A and B are shown apart, each in its own frame.
Chain A
Amino acid sequence: DGGITQSPKYLFRKEGQNVTLSCEQNLNHDAMYWYRQDPGQGLRLIYYSQIVNDFQKGDIAEGYSVSREKKESFPLTVTSAQKNPTAFYLCASSIKQGVDQPQHFGDGTRLSIL
């Protein structure tokens, strides 16, 4: 089945440690996104990518980094500079730029601090 796979489902970070969240899609979508979800705040955009080897900052990019070396993959690194990383992280994709189609979401990664 086509879809978006996020891993791991749960992740723990120690102080000063960088961690990487995986997102893979087999929908042949051009655009991919990372959102952070906190209770009562909806979805906030961290980074998005419209095409391979290109990405843009969203509203809350500080303390995060991404790469888009392959169309199928858009990993998110939560760096030690992100002082409050505890949240539910959602990856999404959509078909291509300029076409009004919905985003498809993975089932998320819950990140906690040890």
Chain B
Amino acid sequence: GENVEQHPSTLSVQEGDSAVIKCTYSDSASNYFPWYKQELGKGPQLIIDIRSNVGEKKDQRIAVTLNKTAKHFSLHITETQPEDSAVYFCAASPGGNQFYFGTGTSLTVIP
């Protein structure tokens, strides 16, 4: 089955700096890659997603890149703000409503 690895597990950045979270996957059949943000005591919320026919997608301060050859994808957050502090999860889906999650990155933005 699919195996998704996520790094780093914790990340601290100064407010205004950029944050990058990286994920790798093993199943070449995976073709859909959502990213979720989870705040304390809440469920994960989708923040951005990318499909395998696209190499990069951007939404304001958030961007995701995908390298299908290398089987890795990354989340980039620019101009970080304290409200960006949360746990971020990547996921990979080979279709059929199957989703495989990374182990999460705890991001702290220091004011």
Cα(A31)–Cα(B93), bound, Å: 14
Cβ contact of B97, chosen from A6, A50, A90, A105, cutoff 8 A: A50
A102 contacts the other chain (Cβ, under 8 Å)? Answer: yes
Is A48 in contact with B46, judged by CB distance below 8 angstroms?
no
B43 contacts the other chain (Cβ, under 8 Å)? Answer: yes
The 6 closest A-B pairs by CB, nearest first: A105-B43, A100-B32, A42-B103, A43-B101, A102-B34, A31-B97
- Secondary structure class of chain B's binding surface, majority of residues: strand
Known: A97-B96, A107-B41. A102 touches B49 (CB 8 A): yes
Cα(A6)–Cα(B46), bound, Å: 18
Cβ contact of A97, chosen from B6, B42, B97, B101, cutoff 8 A: B97
Known: A50-B97, A94-B97, A97-B96. A42 touches B89 (CB 8 A): yes
Q: Which residues of B contact A (CB under 8 A)?
A: 6, 9, 31-32, 34, 36, 41-46, 49, 51, 89, 93, 95-97, 99, 101-104
**With a CB–CB cut-off of 8 A, which chain A residues contact B36?**
105
Given contacts A97-B96, A97-B97, 17 further A-B contacts (CB under 8 A): A40-B103, A40-B104, A42-B6, A43-B89, A43-B101, A50-B97, A92-B43, A100-B93, A100-B95, A102-B34, A102-B46, A103-B99, A105-B43, A105-B44, A105-B45, A107-B41, A107-B42
Interface core residue of A31, A42, A50, A108 (most chain B CB under 10 Å): A42
Q: How far is the CB of A37 from chain B (nearest CB, A)?
A: 9
Q: How large is the interface on A (under 10, 10 to 19, 20 to 34, 35 or more residues)?
A: 20 to 34
Cβ contact of B103, chosen from A41, A45, A103, cutoff 8 A: A41
Q: How far is the CB of A81 from chain B (nearest CB, A)?
A: 25
Q: How far is the CB of B92 from chain A (nearest CB, A)?
A: 11
Cα(A97)–Cα(B95), bound, Å: 8
Chain A, range 1-60, C-beta contacts under 8 Å to B: 4, 6, 31, 33, 40-43, 45, 48, 50
Cα(A102)–Cα(B36), bound, Å: 10
Interface core residue of A94, A96, A98, A105 (most chain B CB under 10 Å): A105
Known: A31-B97, A42-B101. A100 touches B51 (CB 8 A): yes
